[in-house]
Amino acid sequence: MNESATPRLLVTLCTYNEKENLEQLIPEIHHYLPYAAILVIDDNSPDGTGDYVKSLKKTDSRIHSIHRSGKLGLGTATIAGFQYAIENHYDLVLNLDADFSHPPRFMPDLVAATEQADVAIGSRYVPGGKIEGWGPKRYFMSGAINWYARLLLRLKSRDCSGSYRCYRVPKLAEIDFNLLRAKGYAFQEEILYRCRRVGCTFQEVPFTFEERRYGSSKINMKEAFSALWVMFVLGIDNLLGKRVKVLPAESTK
């Protein structure tokens, strides 16, 4: 990335029934990062999210979209955004939730942090970061999952489970996405693990997590237990030193 010039930045939003949020979120993203392209990956939302994004594309060349046939998982949606960024030669890809829990005002800080790191992590758990609107149960669950991820996957970041991050695209291109195990919420920990394995550097940027403005959370207990199992299996992969990318010799065969 040429740090003296404005980077080619793609902001990715994975959506399912987020039309009400997008109506306010997209203008706010462009308020803070007017040069950013926005890619919406929509899983056939019945509330008309996909059609709304299609209408925006007609008048704003910065808006792009991928429309999928149904709910295929947060992990696969995020990967679709990464692959789009790689194929279209962006310098940076910044992912945030589409429900305003990741306030856009912190995005310039994440972009700036990539001048010193390959992955900038929006963190609730470093000095200056905080969470609004959570009860004790959610604090406990989040803290336990992050401890579990650090223990099994040898991650040093305090916030391993959030999706508010900015990545250098050339480093993402080193990862073989076909090897990923997680389809749902464990993807957030797994992609950090795989970034670590390809030599990425990390920096945590404090932000304030806020409760979603419209709609309801998609996570449930089944997803939570699935995430714990995936991280356990990845921990075994880590101990065995299983590969995370296609080796140069293999890619030329």
The tokens for 55 are 């209408």
Residue 191 has a pLDDT of: 94
CB atoms under 10 Å from CB of 210, counted, come to 15
Average pLDDT, whole number, for the chain?
87
pTM equals 0.87
Whether the CA torsion 233, 124, 201, 26 is positive or negative: it is positive
> What digits encode the pLDDT tens for the residues 72-125?
888 899 999 999 999 999 999 999 999 999 999 999 999 999 999 999 999 999
Which one of 33-47, 131-145, 180-194 scores highest in mean pLDDT? 33-47
The tokens for 37 are 């392209």
Q: How far apart are CA 46 and CA 14, in angstroms?
A: 15
Contact predicate 117/205, CB 8 Å: no
Among the residue ranges 24-28, 102-106, 130-134, the one predicted with the least confidence is 130-134
Show the domains of the chain with their CATH numbers: 9-240 (3.90.550.10)
Beta strands 92-95 and 37-42 are unpaired
